[in-house]
Amino acid sequence: MPTSAVRPAALQATSAAHASHAAPPDAHPVPDRHGASLFTADPDLRALLPLYLPADLFNHLLPHLERMGALAGGVLDELANVADHAPPTLSQRTRSGLDAQRIHKHPAYVELERVAFAEFGLAAASHRGGVLGWDKPMPPAAKYALTYLFVQAEFGLCCPLSMTDSLTRTLRKFGDPALVERFLPNLTTQVFDDLYQGAMFMTEQGAGSDVAATSTRAVRDDSAEGGWRLVGDKWFCSNPDAALAMVLARVEDADGTAVDGIKGVSLFLLPRTLADGSANHYRIIRLKDKLGTRSMASGEIRLEGAHAYLVGEPGRGFVQMADMINNSRLSNGVRAAGLMRRALTEGQFIARERRAFGKRLTDMPLMRRQLLKLTLPTEQARTMVFQTAEALRRADAGESDAYPLMRILTPLIKFRACRDARKVTGDAMEIRGGCGYIEEWSDPRLVRDAHLGSIWEGTSNIVALDVLRAIRREGSLPVLQAHLQGLLRDTPLHATARATFEAAIDSAAALAARAADAGADGDVMARQAASALYHVTSAVAMAWEAGRIGSVRRMRLAQLVLVHRVLPQDPLAGGAEPEWLAETVAAPADGVAHAAGQVDQVNVF
Ligand SMILES: Cc1cc2nc3c(=O)[nH]c(=O)nc-3n(C[C@H](O)[C@H](O)[C@H](O)COP(=O)(O)OP(=O)(O)OC[C@H]3O[C@@H](n4cnc5c(N)ncnc54)[C@H](O)[C@@H]3O)c2cc1C
């Protein structure tokens, strides 16, 4: 295992031999924060978590967060870089000529799997007690806090993690109890060799966003394990060798008739290996050569009469799958937030350590402006992660109004945070200068991975339209407005700032209502409406957090979100740098910047 602490003797000898060629003492090497914890680099995370976790769980998790932060900043980052440059391969036969498909994963990736699934139990934490010594299932915010750190090193594996977690959730919600009893222990085990990973095979060549066009057929067959056989092609299948996959297929009667459209689509559980130990009847046709998530396999699958179990009611496949998709969309938001945080942490470090023209980069006004532009979307996304995770916890607990709130916050974060991550990772790459473009640094990986978030689990258009669907079908808009007004009431605010926040909530809600009420004619406004709601929601929630932790800096950031992303601006206005900018873009020393009393003095409008 390569770690920065272990330097092989051969390497040390080489270094000594080359000592005479060492750089002169006044040379300024390229700064490298490798090996430093990503948890301690981000004290706001520690300051904010007690707002979203019960005190006993927060205290219990603290050493685990510290350990995850240290690993993600060091050895996991090294493993991720190795795995990213050594993608998995597919072989069809054993060396002795037996047909046996196998995906070969690099040992670095397998080690990442071990840390995530076995050591930290990230896929199991929501489903049973005992993970990391906590005796109950953990609330979503706990799992996502750890994932937020893990993904700052490795993004690709977070798909199988989320799929396993979400498949387990969907199976428990809709699956036959006997099926749940049979598979739950393997899906939630932390014994690595016993683990069953999950996957979701939904997309077909002719049915991506348009799931109603699904053409894979499901035929009743009592002789098959599970009672059904699946026939068809699935075009995008991440984690294709997973032990279990949720698959959408159209039930076909014995005479070949099937119900058209979304009402004909049902949900099936597909085991990779049948109960008698033989391989199920499907093949991985090939693996995709991808821009990002290169460490993790995505493939194409041909179902050749594969045995499968029906999950839930026939014809309600998409409705049931929607639960899994929503969970994956939230997980995507968490990943986007983590990618941005990693990019910002790197950017802050370089700006502090790198010198040009006799100054530190951070002493230059344009660099401070650049850092602010990275900081705002990064902080917005983090706040949205925890707001959505808390809404999900309350919805699962059956609290009134929590479901419609969760139902709108989820597409909001998936839509906007995933788009912001593309820009933030790209702009952070530029802060490192030329080195940012070089594959031995984390930046290219972050940029490549960030671009996927907006595509899978629903493209930006589809997810923005889902925001309107939540408004139309779940009545989510008044619930969101009430939630934001409640947060504002609970926040000490300067009078002008309060009026500005209130007006912003009203304007964003009016735009979203107009888009939702206009039917198909309103679709063209879906992205604008989703962006407006996201920015206003994150700004209000950040202000609330600022009041709670007594952070003047965070209150300023909350207000700047409105200034930069919601309120009208004159692009030709220019203007001097505000005196508070340097302090606002510097990494906070302790996360709790100032006493609570000062928060209500802040007004940047
Ligand atoms: C690396 C990778 C891994 C993946 N893994 C999986 C997986 O494990 N399981 C799985 O099921 N799928 C997976 N996918 C598939 C992914 O979810 C789909 O590619 C995605 O949902 C888009 O579907 P599509 O490719 O068919 O594009 P299309 O649906 O053809 O969309 C093309 C364009 O049309 C736009 N569009 C479509 N409908 C509308 C509309 N009503 N209004 C406006 N614009 C519209 C879309 O926004 C998009 O820009 C993966 C994809 C990738 C790239």
Q: Which atom of ligand 1 is nearest to the CA of 208?
A: 26
| Residues 115-169 pLDDT 10s | 999 999 999 999 999 999 999 999 999 999 999 999 999 999 999 999 999 999 9
Q: Which atom of ligand 1 is nearest to the CA of 457?
A: 17
Residues 256, 280: one domain? yes
Tally of structural domains, the chain: 3
**Whose Cα sits closest to atom 30 in ligand 1?**
208
Residue 293 domain flag: yes
For residue 116, the 8-state DSSP code is: I
| Residues 131-144 pLDDT 10s | 999 999 999 999 99
Domain edge (last residue) among 298, 316, 334: 316
Residue 15 domain flag: no
Residues 162, 63: one domain? yes
Residues 529, 595: one domain? yes
Residues 49, 188: one domain? yes
Q: Residues with beta carbon inside 6 Å of ligand 1?
A: 200-203, 208-210, 236-238, 290, 293, 298, 452, 455-459, 461-462
In this prediction, residue 587 has a pLDDT band, given cuts at 50, 70 and 90, of: confident
Q: pTM, whole model, 2 decimals?
A: 0.95
Residues 149, 223: one domain? no
**Whose Cα sits closest to atom 20 in ligand 1?**
456
Q: Six-digit token pair at 95? A: 């060396």
Closest to 512 (Cα-Cα) out of 525, 524, 496: 525
Residues 201, 182: one domain? no
> Ligand 1 centroid to 461 CA: how many Å?
10
**Whose Cα sits closest to atom 35 in ligand 1?**
461
> Ligand 1 centroid to 209 CA: how many Å?
5
Residues 107, 169: one domain? yes
Residue of 84, 295, 456, 524 to mutate, ligand 1, most atoms within 8 A of C-beta: 456
Residue 54 domain flag: yes
Residue 281 domain flag: yes
Residue 430 domain flag: no
Residue 542 domain flag: yes
Does 10 have pLDDT greater than 50? Answer: no
Residues 157, 62: one domain? yes
Q: Which residues is 283 bridged to in the sheet?
A: 302
Residue 82 domain flag: yes
> Ligand 1 centroid to 364 CA: how many Å?
42
Rounded CA-CA distance 416/38 in Å is 24
More confident residue, 13 or 403: 403
Domain harbouring 229, CATH code = 2.40.110.20
For residue 279, the 8-state DSSP code is: B
Angle at 47 between CA 605 and CA 577, to 5 degrees: 30
Rounded CA-CA distance 77/164 in Å is 22
Mean pLDDT of 31-53: 96
Domain harbouring 167, CATH code = 1.10.540
Burial string for 476-490 (b: 16+ CB within 10 Å, else e) reads: bbebbbebbeebbee
Residues 144, 245: one domain? no
Domain edge (last residue) among 134, 159, 192: 192
Does 21 have pLDDT greater than 80? Answer: no
Residues 169, 232: one domain? no
**Whose Cα sits closest to atom 42 in ligand 1?**
461
Residues 186, 201: one domain? no
**Whose Cα sits closest to atom 52 in ligand 1?**
456
Residues 182, 219: one domain? no
Residue 388 host element (H or E) = helix 365-396
Give the domain extent around 223. Answer: 197-316
| Residues 436-481 pLDDT 10s | 999 999 999 999 999 999 999 999 999 999 999 999 999 999 999 9
